Structure 1
Amino acid sequence: MDSTLPSTLTLGGIFPSSGGWEVGPSVFPAFQMAIEEINENDALLPGTELKYYLNDSSCDEVVGQSKVMWQNTYPRSIDMILGDGCSVACEAEARLAQIWKMPQISWGCTSPSLSNKEKFPFFLRTVSPDTITAAAFSSYIHELTPWRKVAWISEDALLFTMTHDSFRAAQVGLDDPIEIVAHEVFVAGDGVATDLELRMKAIKDTGVRIFVINCYTGNARRLFKIAKKLGMTNEGYQIFVGGGVAECVLANPACPIDGIIEETDEELKEAVHGALFTYMPFAPKGEPRYEDFLNKMVSRLGLSGPSLVNAYAVAAYEAVYSYAHAAHSFSGNIRSDQSEFMSHLRTSSCPGVLSNVTYDEFGDRMSTVAVANFDYGLNEDSNGLWLTTHSFNANEGIVSVGSYQTVYTGGTTNQPPVASATIIDVAGNASVGLPFILSIVAAAIFVITIVVIYFRRNEQKLGLERKADHMRMNSMRLENEKLHENLKMLQQYSKEEIDMIEGQIVSFRASFSKKNANDAEVGTVNARRDMAKLLIPASELESEELLGKGSFGEVHKSKYR
């Protein structure tokens, strides 16, 4: 071990305790426990004390990034980021890790986008990306059921939309691929409840009976209740829930919701009964390291039993040990040789609770995921909320676990049949069905009728406008003819005649004395009124071109315009 290892290393712990996934309180105790154990272990990082900050990201990218910045702002400083659990926050925090050249190990971020090492070179995780969730669902449906048409509803976050894309990609090359009939994407926020109901109705209207809910916990709870309202949790439907957040859909000691550790919403519990979801699996019973971890967590949290320990607590615990072992074995300066230390951390290995902690070329910990059944606590072997029925990994595919019989949505053990209703696929193709054909014909007739009415009314309007234009043109033609006649008459006067008329006016005005000014004004007005009968005001002439023609036109233009 290099003697330049500092006397203290500070970990920036990021655990969402509010927002879309309130899992932090059941996970960060494992983070704290690992730090305490390492500080008490003279064989690991002797002479170095681990310290930490602990913050809530609220499952929000802006909040998460600001909390990490707070942790690393003078007089505070951190040596690594341990977190987040929410991928939207992880991605924002990973950008800071890249700028600072600081290692980040996540215990819960599963977005496939985080496997991009060009974009996130300092990011590692002790969980699997959701590409394995997509593969698990694909394998389950393809190998164990006759269903070949499904629908998705996803929250508008890269984590969830990329999981859908991974599922679609998994169908490439298959002889009998699963068809995604519809993919509804919603934006979380104000008014989301109304939007969710509209999108669930759209899925129901396709006729598909198998669908995947892929979002954070708060909206997953809403979607289950909407599905129940629409009759989509009855027998004949099947719901899958993507992402590791599913185990928090129902409040439980391992995942409290608003401080509640036991679900009280009976309607929600009924709605989720029989849904299938993936989550990070527990180790087999009897594994010494795992049993030891569970016992310590039960004691620390005061739980009634080990089944209530959150699976992500294991990942957070292992993340701390992964960093500590890499720091212990690094031969350089952990703070100045940052890129070298990151390469060392990525290729290191250490004992874990579930298995040895190692990372692949993408910084991911590829492992098995469990497929579990919300069983409503009806099976004595369950933990009161769900029961693991299958496991999946890339090498073995989907494998049954135990002798448990899967319970499907609606609480039945009968596998939902292939939907017989007409289904419109993403390419716009349709299977033949009389109700659908009649509805399309009716819609087409309605559209054609509206179009015909519109064009007829438009044609009538245009006809009236053409008639009005024609009348205006006739009026203008008559006015022009009258104008030309007046011009011909006026052009008969010579310049001498005009001068004579003006001379008479001047002479007439001069004949009045000042004392008869009023009479003179009257006489002038009368004379000008007579002249007005002969002269055409400039405003009545068609153009300057007409004003320039004839001797009178020149006089009128210069003196009276």
Structure 2
Amino acid sequence: MARLSRPAALLLFALICFSCAAADKKKKKLYIGALFPMSGGWPGGQACLPATQMALQLVNKRTDILPDYELELIHYDSMCDPGEATKLLYDLLYTEPIKVVLMPGCSSVSTLVAEAARMWNLIVLSYGSSSPALSNRQRFPTFFRTHPSATLHNPTRVQLFQKWKWTKIATIQQTTEVFTSTLDDLEERTKEAGIDISVRQSFLTDPAVAVKNLKRQDARIIVGLFYETEARKVFCEVYKEKLYGKKYVWFLIGWYADNWFKIKDPSINCTLEQMSEAVEGHVTTEIVMLNPETVRGASKLTSQEFLTQLMSKLGGKNPEETGGFQEAPLAYDAVWALALALNKTVGPLKARGYRLEDFNYNNRDITSEIYRAMNTSSFEGVSGHVVFDAQGSRMAWTLIEQLQGGSYKKIGYYDSTKGNLSWYGNDKWIGQGPPADQTVVIEEFRYLSQRLFVSMSVFAVVGILLGIVCLTFNIYNSRVRYIQNSQPYLNNMTAVGCMMALAAVFPLGIDGLHVHRRHFPVVCQFRLWLIGLGFSLAYGSMFTKIWWVHTVFTKKDEKKEKRKHLDSWKLYATVGVLLSVDVLLLMIWQIVDPLHVTVEKFTREAPKEDLDVLIQPLLEHCSSEKMTTWLGVVYGYKGLLLLLGIFLAYETKSVSTEKINDHRAVGMAIYNVAVLCLITAPVTMILSSQQDASFAFASLAIIFSVYITLVVLFIPKKEERVSELRNQLSERHALRTRKPPSTITQNQNHSFPLLSVTLSDPKSLAPPPGYPAPSCDTHPAPQSFSNSSSLYQADNKINVNNCHTSRLQMLYK
């Protein structure tokens, strides 16, 4: 190969330099106005600005992308503050040069910029805005973003709620538009999935009150929507309120720095250990912002190569302490999306006689071409496949991570477009597994103590047997005169009523432990009817006696004969009236407002074991819709009868009559029954929530009342009858053992003569003084004598054959 001469080489070098200078001179500059938050709630500009600069350098070096143009970045620090951004936006719009595109970062700033950009026909491309409110084409017609909408987290959250079988969640949010709109979308999605947001709290700057409300309302599964700086405040309060641990799960946004809880923050007073303890185990949902696959996209870089260059650009800074490090791939791909879209518009604009450098704020044609190109973007970037939906939002996968041992671990991915959940199965929990979404409440019915029930039942059975004995005795001896004078039929009613009242002890003690709930109303009716009718028969018959004794035998104006006259039918009619009133009242109650089962709930109780459960005590009651009204009527009516009975018993205590010879015993029984009933009725209402005490008090009142009534009314009669029978047996035995006198004969073996009485002696036949002379004929003995000697043998009866002196003297003894 021939060597060039020195002049020729210099000439060639000059030509190359001239051609390069000419090429540089031909490139037109297109300016991009950007707002990077270097501080504030989300200091994403710390990593996103270097990533954007890296992309611009590569784009400007490429000869196949915008070969005649050079992209230049004009940026300011918005501090993620809409007020500051307003001033900076004014500077960008009203100072030269003209900007082709605006690139804001924070959602709050993007909302301001995108709403104003339409007035200047500007395309807005955001790299860090996630607010769902920005997905509104009518309000933001020229807005695009490489950061997916925050609502993309919500399908993933709902999927996780369903996976872990949670149906009740709580939320706490910072009061900003991005989080409010995200929460509104979450509420719609959870409602469709049958999940209830039971607690919804918000705060502006201080989350203390909101966290306390979450604790007070027993929130367990909590979705937190706030910026990183507020997240530290929230979890400092979470630690103070002990709203963490095995009973709680927090869902946070995944775009915080990995060590966000370790960063020293003067606005909180919690230590690093306390913060680490409070955040352990929380779950984050994060848009996949770094392509997990090793592919070379539009920038000719893999995701790992991009990270390496970015780390170099950051100068060795700790990525965890660099704001926006996770969103840096989105900012990088945003530049590439813009460059590819602008490159795509060169041809169509040239066909229409336009050039990109002709753009101004009044030229809608160029804006519409850029919009069309952006809307059809589709390429592989370092953050994954870049494509925009109809609202200009990026579509992407969601990464699910969990903080385990102080570091984040990937536990799954979710593709919301296909509804596909890829699960690694490496999730870890502080307890046995995922906690319950609320305190598990175990309903536990309170039942009557069976020992108490059996004890009272035994007393009731014994009382019923005693009532049967008394009733049998009264019926068997109803012809005995002093029993006849006690009105035995009324005493029979008293015994039957007492047995019915005692029978009511059994349904009073029967509860859900013995019968099914659907059969419980029948038990309630048995309680009501047995007690009501038992009281009417037992107390009504005693009240009738005392009423008529007072009515008939305390009237001093009437004659003595009339005072002693009392028709039995009036007594029975009185009892019938009292019984009819009760039957009518109970029937109306049962028809109009029947008894049914109601369940009383008590304060929840924590078990002794360390379990995430509460015991909800329940107690079944027999009740009706207007129970208070019915009880008022019944207690009022019965109470008046009891008070009137006490009064009548007191008034007749000195009355003596053979028509109702046991009215003093009846009065004593009325005293006891009235006192017990007047005490028991209000006490059982007060103790209605204590099943054992209420049953014991009511049962003992019934048992004591019945026992006292039976003993007072029937035991004296039994003793009288037993005493009478004992006397009769004694007389019979004396008659049998007495030796009968022989006829008058001379006994030769005796040294003295026997005394004898002949029938011809009239003095020997004379009766004792004051007694009538007996008749010794074929007529039978008087009825009174026959009654008293009914147990005697037939051969002992006095007749004409055996009416002699030995028997006559015995007759009047």
**1:246-292 C-alpha deviation (Å, 9 max, x unpaired):** 7573368xxx989xxxx983322222111111123232253442122
Partner of 1:290: 303
Partner SS for 2:410: strand
Which amino acid counterpart does residue 414 of structure 2 have in structure 1?
F
Residue 219 of structure 1, CA deviation: 1.0
Partner of 1:185: 202
Partner of 1:146: 165
Taking only the aligned residue pairs, the percentage that are identical comes to: 26
- Is the CA contact (8 Å cut-off) linking 2:319 and 2:325 kept in structure 1? no
Are 2:210 and 1:199 equivalent residues in the alignment? yes
Partner SS for 1:344: helix
What 5-or-longer segments of structure 2 have no aligned partner?
Answer: 1-25, 297-301, 350-354, 443-598, 606-813
Residue 66 of structure 1, CA deviation: 2.0
Partner SS for 2:305: helix
Are 2:218 and 1:211 equivalent residues in the alignment? no
Paired with 1:301 and 1:397, the residues of 2 have a C-alpha distance of 37
Are 2:123 and 1:103 equivalent residues in the alignment? yes
Paired with 2:28 and 2:329, the residues of 1 have a C-alpha distance of 27
Which amino acid counterpart does residue 281 of structure 2 have in structure 1?
G
Residue 376 of structure 1, CA deviation: 3.6
Partner of 1:434: 602
Please, which of 43, 48, 54 is the counterpart of residue 27 of structure 1?
48
Cα distance change on mapping 1:257 and 1:223 into 2, 3 Å: closer
Residue 401 of structure 1, CA deviation: 4.6
Cα distance change on mapping 1:54 and 1:267 into 2, 3 Å: farther
Residue 126 of structure 1, CA deviation: 0.6
Partner of 1:414: 433
CA RMSD of aligned residues (A): 3.0
Partner of 1:486: none
Please, which of 373, 388, 392 is the counterpart of residue 410 of structure 2?
388
Please, which of 302, 307, 314 is the counterpart of residue 301 of structure 1?
314
Residue 35 of structure 1, CA deviation: 0.6
Please, which of 267, 270, 292 is the counterpart of residue 274 of structure 2?
267
Alignment of 1:514-529 (within 5 A): none
Residue 304 of structure 1, CA deviation: 8.0
Paired with 2:53 and 2:252, the residues of 1 have a C-alpha distance of 30
Are 2:126 and 1:124 equivalent residues in the alignment? no
Larger RCO (CA under 8 A, 6+ residues apart): 1
Partner of 1:223: 234
Partner SS for 1:286: coil
Partner of 1:327: 342
Paired with 1:142 and 1:246, the residues of 2 have a C-alpha distance of 28
Alignment of 1:290-369 (within 5 A): 290-303=303-316, 310-330=325-345, 331-332=348-349, 333-334=355-356, 335=359, 336=363, 337-369=366-398
Cα distance change on mapping 1:287 and 1:266 into 2, 3 Å: farther
- Is the CA contact (8 Å cut-off) linking 2:257 and 2:326 kept in structure 1? no
Residue 342 of structure 1, CA deviation: 1.6
Residue 435 of structure 1, CA deviation: 2.8
Partner SS for 1:119: coil
Please, which of 225, 241, 255 is the counterpart of residue 252 of structure 2?
241
Partner of 1:474: none
Residue 130 of structure 1, CA deviation: 1.3
Which amino acid counterpart does residue 180 of structure 1 have in structure 2?
I
**1:508-534 C-alpha deviation (Å, 9 max, x unpaired):** xxxxxxxxxxxxxxxxxxxxxxxxxxx
**1:211-249 C-alpha deviation (Å, 9 max, x unpaired):** 111111111111111111111112211111136347573
Are 2:108 and 1:88 equivalent residues in the alignment? yes
Partner SS for 2:291: coil
Please, which of 116, 129, 132 is the counterpart of residue 112 of structure 1?
132
**1:171-197 C-alpha deviation (Å, 9 max, x unpaired):** 3443xx111011112123xxx2xxx21
**1:294-326 C-alpha deviation (Å, 9 max, x unpaired):** 221122224489999922100000000111111
- Is the CA contact (8 Å cut-off) linking 1:91 and 1:114 kept in structure 2? yes
- Judge which range, 48-57 or 222-231, deviates more: 48-57
Partner SS for 1:72: helix
Paired with 1:422 and 1:20, the residues of 2 have a C-alpha distance of 40
Partner of 2:522: none
Paired with 2:107 and 2:180, the residues of 1 have a C-alpha distance of 12
Residue 356 of structure 1, CA deviation: 3.2
- Judge which range, 326-335 or 227-236, deviates more: 326-335
Residue 122 of structure 1, CA deviation: 1.0
Paired with 2:30 and 2:600, the residues of 1 have a C-alpha distance of 67
Paired with 1:274 and 1:246, the residues of 2 have a C-alpha distance of 16
Residue 101 of structure 1, CA deviation: 1.1
Tell me the TM-score normalized by structure 2: 0.46
- Is the CA contact (8 Å cut-off) linking 1:215 and 1:243 kept in structure 2? no
- Is the CA contact (8 Å cut-off) linking 1:407 and 1:413 kept in structure 2? no
- Is the CA contact (8 Å cut-off) linking 2:46 and 2:325 kept in structure 1? no
Partner SS for 1:414: coil
Which amino acid counterpart does residue 182 of structure 1 have in structure 2?
V
Partner of 1:493: none
Which amino acid counterpart does residue 381 of structure 2 have in structure 1?
G
Partner SS for 1:212: strand
Which amino acid counterpart does residue 66 of structure 1 have in structure 2?
K
Paired with 1:285 and 1:322, the residues of 2 have a C-alpha distance of 20
Partner SS for 2:342: helix
Residue 372 of structure 1, CA deviation: 1.0
Partner of 2:284: 277
The structure whose Rg is larger is 2
Residue 396 of structure 1, CA deviation: 3.8
Paired with 2:285 and 2:27, the residues of 1 have a C-alpha distance of 41
Partner of 2:536: none
**1:112-163 C-alpha deviation (Å, 9 max, x unpaired):** 11110000011101121111111111111112x1221111011111211111
What 5-or-longer segments of structure 1 have no aligned partner?
Answer: 378-384, 424-430, 438-561
Please, which of 72, 82, 87 is the counterpart of residue 93 of structure 2?
72
Paired with 2:190 and 2:181, the residues of 1 have a C-alpha distance of 15
Which amino acid counterpart does residue 196 of structure 2 have in structure 1?
E
Alignment of 1:374-385 (within 5 A): 374-377=403-406, 385=407
- Is the CA contact (8 Å cut-off) linking 2:244 and 2:278 kept in structure 1? yes
